[in-house]
Structure 1
Amino acid sequence: MFKIVDGYIIKKYLGTFGFMLILLSTVVLVIDVQQKIPRIENATALDPKLNLTYFLIHFYPFWIINLVVTFLAILVFISVIYFTSRMANNTEIVAIISSGASFHRFAKPYLLTSLFIALISLMVNHFVLPWANIKKNALEAYTYNQTNKDKILGTAPVSAQLSKTEFIFINSWNKKEYRGYGFVYQKFDKDRKLVYELKANDAYWDPAKKQFVLNSFLEKTINKNDSEKLGNGFELRKNYGQAPEELFPNELLGQNKTTPELIKFIDREKEKGNSNLNAHLNEFHQRTSMPVSIILLTFLALSLSSQKKRGGLGINLAIGISLAFVFVFSFEALKVVSENKIMSPALAMWMPNIIFLPLTFILYIRRANQ
């Protein structure tokens, strides 16, 4: 009998979750396309290839993957509240418990299904989502307003720390064309004394040879006796070990890397002495904390909705949606807190789970003992 009940609950869980997933994706897709049509039209004016059809094929499928991953825990939460509340209103849960099953035994299929979804989510977050983000982020900037678009594709001053003693500064760098003006490379000794400086009027990236091409350059070497050796020329090619997107990363770079690649990138930046890594560390920790949230929110939803209440499904959904907004908002707010270096990324990305864990435990035990 219990196997039949398990199968029934798992079918309800996955069926409701699948329906919610399709419903959310469809509704949000339609709303987002309508909102972004003017910006897509602006992109089409710059490049006729970047029309609405192109975005629907090359951007939105990957955007939806990102959307689903972001809201997966919340979809699970609302799905469990919905179908469990209906079971409670139909007295199905009372009948199952009355047949001799404990509440813990009743909760077993919830645990198994949430573990299944969480494991899939874990694999997607660490390996599939970065691939989707590469496709999405190639066009994402064209859907931004002009200010945010310029941060990704526009021209701005950039700098990079190659090591603890080596730095690059460019006064004006175009992030789309990989070309800039006012290039400066400086190297210091262990006493922070300048020992070498290279300046160029303009610089661009040669992707074929993976080198920076410096035009109208002037270099200065400072000897131990403080004498200087000068040199100049029309063109100089330099390889600084990384492509421009790695040297001058934006906030989207971490999203494009699988977790092993992201770990290597973070370690490499730490070796250079770069301390501005919290956005990438947030990405790293969130990839694991969000799948864990699926299990946690499943049991929270079960505890809230498995008993028939006055107000029925409506009150349960109201409570569930309110908690869902709190959960999502807390993640986004804590990202900002972490990026401002007020809290460590690990703590920030696990804080919602840490807060909701005792709440879930108390509600579950109270419900099991009723």
Structure 2
Amino acid sequence: MLLLFIPIGITVDLAEKIGKIIENEAPFNETAMYYVDFTIYFANLLFPLFLFLSVIWFTSKLANNTEIVAFLSSGVSFTRFLRPYIIGATIVAIFAFVLGMYLAPIASQGFNEFKFKYLKKGKQIQQTRDVYRQINDNDYIYVSNFVPDRKVGTNFTYEHFEGNELKYKIFADNIRFIEKDTSYRLTTYVKRSFENGIETIEKERRKDTILPFELEDLTPVEYAAETKSYGELLKFIDSEKRRGSPNIGRYEVVKLRKWSIPVSIFILTIIAVAVSSVKRRGGMGVNLAFGIAIAMIYVFFDKIFGVMAAQSNFPAIIAVWFPNVIFGILAIYLLQNAKR
């Protein structure tokens, strides 16, 4: 199934993006590596569905040849018949687990870097809004919106505390990153300092200064979590929570999916065996059609709840595990009917 679908996916993607690749003069070796990363990236996302369709195809062949009837008629229980599928699913789940934990993050890094370097070159990247972050134990920044490709933000605020006491606060209508000397240019600069109960106000029309934070703090990368191994991801999420990142939901979804994908392999394998182990009048086509319909519903639930968790306060654990719970119940129901 992988050998069937991945070349089709690469061909469609290349046909769509060949103009951008040529226009932006992407080197051949980077383009080739992009499609290696493309293969690993999407294979990791779609692995359970590829396995699901493979099991339906294989089991339908057995059913159409009346081999399953022969198995069960000879006294083999349905549970014993299911055992090789579970062993196979375990092997595939272990591979998917290792892929998701260690190999897919490396592929995601290369896939996304190529996409933003060559395929989205010249396009204005969507601006980030209402970025409020804790830089360290004493410093906080806020910007109402920031446009990454122009490196310009509006309504900037910087606060410095010592203990629970605010020492100074900087305001600016605009902030611009100056790449040449890695400094920041603040327009309509105002600094309020507090010392021994006395407030001092400093104003300048424009001020170039160095501030103790990186440009990435104003432009949180949405796919950052996808590029980290599990250990790095846990540390990254903990750090982002302390900083007050608005993307915690998205990062939590990435973390939980590393565990939910291997579990979904077992659930979809059981569903596939249950629906395709009966010989039907329409043959394999009916089983495949039914299987594809179930797969599409699963993907629909997975995407809808994933987006809800990423863009709202919807709990990530419910978003990730709800499809598995629903389809787990369906798997038990179909398995009981198949045994009968």
After TM superposition, the score normalised by the length of structure 2 is: 0.85
The answer on 1:81 being equivalent to 2:52 is: no
Match of 1:168 among 141, 165, 175: 141
1: CA distance, partners of 2:317 / 2:144: 34
2: CA distance, partners of 1:40 / 1:121: 31
1: CA distance, partners of 2:259 / 2:160: 40
Match of 1:254 among 222, 225, 228: 225
2: CA distance, partners of 1:29 / 1:259: 28
1:28-39 map, 5 Å: 28-39=9-20
Map of 2:177 onto structure 1:
203
The answer on 1:313 being equivalent to 2:284 is: yes
Map of 1:187 onto structure 2:
159
Q: Which amino acid aligns with 1:239?
A: P
Give the match's secondary structure for 1:151.
coil
How far apart are 1:276 and its partner, in Å? Answer: 3.9
Q: Structure 2 stretches of 5 or more lacking a match?
A: none
How far apart are 1:337 and its partner, in Å? Answer: 1.6
Give the match's secondary structure for 2:124.
helix
How far apart are 1:161 and its partner, in Å? Answer: 0.8
Contact 1:300 1:364 in 2 (8 A): yes
- Do the aligned partners of residues 224 and 331 (structure 1) sit closer, same or farther apart at CA in structure 2, a change above 3 Å counting? farther
Deviations 1:33-77 (A, max 9, x none): 1012233234x2xxx3x15x3553131110111111111111111
Deviations 1:165-195 (A, max 9, x none): 7433568866368x54669442165889683
1: CA distance, partners of 2:199 / 2:228: 45
- Do the aligned partners of residues 93 and 139 (structure 1) sit closer, same or farther apart at CA in structure 2, a change above 3 Å counting? same
2: CA distance, partners of 1:329 / 1:181: 36
The answer on 1:22 being equivalent to 2:10 is: no
Give the match's secondary structure for 2:251.
helix
1: CA distance, partners of 2:144 / 2:267: 48
- Do the aligned partners of residues 229 and 259 (structure 1) sit closer, same or farther apart at CA in structure 2, a change above 3 Å counting? same
Match of 2:90 among 103, 109, 115: 115
- Do the aligned partners of residues 326 and 182 (structure 1) sit closer, same or farther apart at CA in structure 2, a change above 3 Å counting? closer
Match of 1:213 among 183, 195, 198: 183
1:1-370 map, 5 Å: 20-42=1-23, 44=24, 48=25, 50=26, 53-54=28-29, 56-141=31-116, 142-144=118-120, 149-151=123-125, 159-162=131-134, 166-169=139-142, 175=148, 179-180=151-152, 184-187=156-159, 195-197=168-170, 202-204=176-178, 212-215=182-185, 219-228=191-200, 230=202, 236-240=209-213, 243-245=214-216, 247-341=218-312, 343-368=314-339, 370=340
How far apart are 1:138 and its partner, in Å? Answer: 0.6
Q: Which amino acid aligns with 2:80?
A: R
Contact 2:185 2:207 in 1 (8 A): yes
How far apart are 1:159 and its partner, in Å? Answer: 3.4
Total equivalences in the alignment: 333
Higher mean C-alpha displacement, 274-283 vs 212-221: 212-221
- Do the aligned partners of residues 172 and 363 (structure 1) sit closer, same or farther apart at CA in structure 2, a change above 3 Å counting? closer
Higher mean C-alpha displacement, 217-226 vs 112-121: 217-226
Contact 2:257 2:320 in 1 (8 A): yes
2: CA distance, partners of 1:204 / 1:34: 38
Higher mean C-alpha displacement, 247-256 vs 267-276: 267-276
- Do the aligned partners of residues 297 and 192 (structure 1) sit closer, same or farther apart at CA in structure 2, a change above 3 Å counting? farther
2: CA distance, partners of 1:238 / 1:191: 21
After TM superposition, the score normalised by the length of structure 1 is: 0.79
Higher mean C-alpha displacement, 99-108 vs 229-238: 229-238
How far apart are 1:316 and its partner, in Å? Answer: 0.2
Contact 1:222 1:229 in 2 (8 A): no
Contact 1:77 1:297 in 2 (8 A): yes
1: CA distance, partners of 2:229 / 2:337: 41
- Cα-Cα RMSD: 3.1
- Do the aligned partners of residues 68 and 255 (structure 1) sit closer, same or farther apart at CA in structure 2, a change above 3 Å counting? same
Map of 1:4 onto structure 2:
none
Give the match's secondary structure for 1:307.
coil
Contact 1:215 1:235 in 2 (8 A): yes
